[in-house]
Every structure is written in structure tokens, then in C-alpha cells.
Structure 1
Amino acid sequence: MESRSEENIDYSDIPPLTDDFFERATLCIPAEQAQDLVQLDPDVKQWFQAQGEQYKTLINSVLRQYIESIQTQRRA
């Protein structure tokens, strides 16, 4: 992409950004991430890696969902 000039990029399939889009949009600034090492069983790591390139993001998402479910149970 970086080697392409502006003239060679086809923008025809990109919808216009309307005022309505910007009125409904919310700014999401991710929190600073900690760089920690986590020991994973080899089969667990292999499974997550098999899910794709963003497997570390997936691990984070699974852990976050687990935390939220525990917090919800404790409030009930």
C-alpha cells in the first residue's frame, strides 16, 4: 500500500463519512498495555496461535470476558 500513489487507489467502494457518522462516533483510546509474560501450556498456546495472527489479542479478550463474568457473578 505504501508504494501506491494516491491516484492509483480506488476509493469508489468506501462509503462517505457523513455528519451523522461523526455525531454517533465515540473516541476509544486504548489503555496502556502491560507487557507481561504468561506461562501457557503448549497445547493452549498452539490452539490460540491456530486462530490467527492476532492470537495475543484473542487471549486478552478471553481473559477479559472471564474477569467480567466473575465480577457479574459476585454482584448477583
Structure 2
Amino acid sequence: MNNSSRTNWDKVDSLTEEEIDTSDIPPLTEEFFGNSRWWKPVTPMNVIVQVDPETLAWFQSQGEDYEKKMAAALRIYAEAHKM
């Protein structure tokens, strides 16, 4: 399998800001920024949680990063149940 690019990177690197065509990129509007949220990564904590074997087995079957997926599922649940 050949993964080499046929892009002329020297030409791309030599382009000035004015020469770059951005006409197909829509402008970022106030609506875009109004719908966005600032996200700051947090350091995860290690805790012990009792989980039934079937639930743990299901998450483990989802891949090596199953602990991250469990944490994401808990985060989604907590966000959905905030008052």
C-alpha cells in the first residue's frame, strides 16, 4: 500500500495568506460562538465503583479504552440530569 502524497508541499508552503482560497469555508458567526462552549480538560480521578459483571463485560467488549467510555457514559448521564 502506497501512502505517499502527491501534494506539492513546497508550493503549499510558499503560498501567502492572500493566495490561499478560503471561499468554500463559511465565516464564523456570532451564532456559531453562541452555540459553542469552552472546555477545559480535567485530570481524572481514580475511584472504586461497584459495577455488575454484565455491564463491565459489555464496556470491556467495546475496546481497550473501555474505562474512558465508562467515564463518558457517566458524564453524559450526569449532564442530562442536572437541575
TM-score w.r.t. structure 2 length?
0.52
Q: Say yes or no: does 1:47 pair with 2:58.
A: yes
| Matching of residue 70 in structure 1 with residue 81 in structure 2 | yes
Within-5 A mapping of 1:7-46: 12=5, 30-46=41-57
Q: CA RMSD in A?
A: 2.9
Unaligned runs of 5+ in 1: 1-9, 20-27
Residue in 1 aligned with 2:35?
Answer: none
The count of residues paired between Structure 1 and Structure 2 equals: 53
Residues 46 and 12 of structure 1: CA distance in aligned 2, closer, same or farther (over 3 Å):
same
Identity, % of aligned pairs? 33
Q: 1:11 & 1:35 partners in 2: Cα distance?
A: 42
1:11 is displaced (CA, Å) by 7.0
The structure with the largest helix share of the pair is 1
